[in-house]
Amino acid sequence: MNKQPKAVALISGGLDSMLAVKVLQAQGVHVEGINFYTGFCVEGHTHAIRKSSQKKEKRNNALWVAEQLGIKLHIIDVIEEYKEVLTNPKHGYGANLNPCLDCKSFMVKKAREWMDENGFDFIFTGEVIGQRPMSQRKETMPIVAKQCGSDERLLRPLCAKLLPETLPEREGWVDREKLLAFNGRSRKPQIALAAQFGFDEYAQPAGGCCFLTDEAYSVKLGDLWRQRGSKNYDLDDIMLLKVGRHIRPRDHFKVIIGREEGENNFMNGYRKQFTHMHATSHNGPLALIDGNVSSEDLELAAQIVARFTQGRDTDSVQIEVNEKDNETPFTLDVVPLRNDDIPKEWYL
Amino acid sequence: MATHTLDARRLLCPMPVIRAQNRIKTLAKGDILEVTCTDPGAKNDLPTWCRINGHEVIEIETKDDDIIIKIAVGEA
Res. A207 pLDDT band, cuts 50 70 90:
very low
Range of the domain at B67: 3-72
Q: How many domains does chain B have?
A: 1
Give the residue from A63, A74, A81, A241 with the most B CB atoms within 10 Å of its CB, the best one to mutate.
A63
* pLDDT of amino acid A148: 63
Range of the domain at A317: 243-346
**Residues of chain B neighbouring A37 (CB-CB closer than 8 A):** 14-15, 18
* pLDDT of amino acid B1: 82
Query: Mean per-residue pLDDT for A298-325?
Result: 96
CB-based contact B13 A54, cutoff 8 Å: no
Q: What CATH number corresponds to the domain at position B66?
A: 3.30.110.40
pLDDT, one tens digit per residue, over B2-15 is: 999 999 998 888 99
Predicted complex ipTM: 0.92
Q: What is the mean pLDDT of chain A?
A: 90
Q: Is B13 in the active site?
A: yes
Q: Which of B13, B67, B69, B73 is catalytic?
A: B13
pLDDT, one tens digit per residue, over B30-39 is: 999 999 998 8
Nearest by CB to residue A63, choosing from B22, B39, B49, is B49
**Shortest alpha-carbon distance between residue A283 and chain B (Å):** 22
Residues A177 and A318 placed together within one structural domain of the fold: no
CB-based contact B49 A75, cutoff 8 Å: yes
Q: How many domains does chain A have?
A: 2
Residues A13 and A98 placed together within one structural domain of the fold: yes
**Shortest alpha-carbon distance between residue B45 and chain A (Å):** 6
Residues A33 and A158 placed together within one structural domain of the fold: yes
Q: Pick the residue from chain B with its C-alpha nearest to A55.
A: B40
* pLDDT of amino acid A275: 97
Give the residue from B21, B48, B66 with the most A CB atoms within 10 Å of its CB, the best one to mutate.
B48
Choose one of A194, A211, A228: the last residue of a domain.
A211
User: What is the 3-state secondary structure of chain A?
Assistant: CCCCCEEEEECCCEHHHHHHHHHHHCCCCEEEEEEEECCCECCCHHHHHCHHHCCCCCCCHHHHHHHHHCCCEEEEECHHHHHHHHHCCCCCCCCCCCCHHHHHHHHHHHHHHHHHHCCCCEEECCCCECCCCCCCCCCCHHHHHHHCCCCCCEECCCCHHHCCCCHHHHCCCCCHHHCCCCECCCCHHHHHHHHHHCCCCCECCCCCCEHHHCHHHHHHHHHHHHHHCCCCCCHHHHHHCCCCEEEEEECCEEEEECCCHHHHHHHHCCHHHCEEEEECCCCCCCEEEEECCCHHHHHHHHHHHHHCCCCCCCCCEEEEEECCCCCCCEEEEECCCCHHHCCHHHEC
CB-based contact B48 A67, cutoff 8 Å: yes
Res. A206 pLDDT band, cuts 50 70 90:
very low
Q: What CATH number corresponds to the domain at position A184?
A: 3.40.50.620
Choose one of A211, A227, A258: the last residue of a domain.
A211
**Residues of chain B neighbouring A35 (CB-CB closer than 8 A):** 14
Q: Residue A304: inside a domain, yes or no?
A: yes
